[in-house]
Structure 1
Amino acid sequence: MILSDLRSYLQQQHRVALIDLVNHFGTDADALRGMLSKWISKGKVRKMPLESSCGTSCCKCDPALTELYEWIDEKN
């Protein structure tokens, strides 16, 4: 996977959880964070504030993987 693949996916999905990126690309979360940081530094992606939980009470979500990232639409 290259940065342009990540860009295309984010543009299509607009907002996506890190776990979804891990599953879609089959890539380590830390590697994806590194690629996402490139887009963040260019002002194209923003990391959304974390909620305290996913909204359920099962407590099975890995908080590190519930990070949300959003592609910043240039029209706004």
Structure 2
Amino acid sequence: MTPSELRTYLRQRGQASLVDLVARFDTDPEVVRDVLGYWQRKGRIQEAAAGCGKTCSNCNNGPVVFYQWQE
């Protein structure tokens, strides 16, 4: 996975979680975090937390972090 591949993917989707990115690029989470960090330092990716999407309020996993591309 290159920085430009990650950029293209996030531009197309708008946002993705770390789990989504690891699965999409079939790579180690640390590699994905490194590339995300590259774009975050440039101000092109922003983190956004979201709940699990269910209304039961029994979620013990806490919020999921999504990475959003910033134009």
- Indicate the TM-score class for this superposition, using the shorter chain for normalisation: 0.7 to 0.9
Q: Which runs of 4+ in 1 moved over 2 A?
A: 55-61
Aligned to 1:10: 10
Partner of 2:28: 28
What TM-score comes out, normalization by structure 1 length? 0.74
Matched, 1:45 2:45: yes
TM-score normalised by L of structure 2: 0.79
Instruction: Name the count of aligned residue pairs.
Output: 69
More strand by share: 2
Report the identity percentage: 35
Name stretches of at least 5 consecutive residues in structure 2 with no aligned partner.
Answer: none
C-alpha separation in 1, matches of 2:67 and 2:26: 17
Q: Which amino acid aligns with 1:54?
A: C
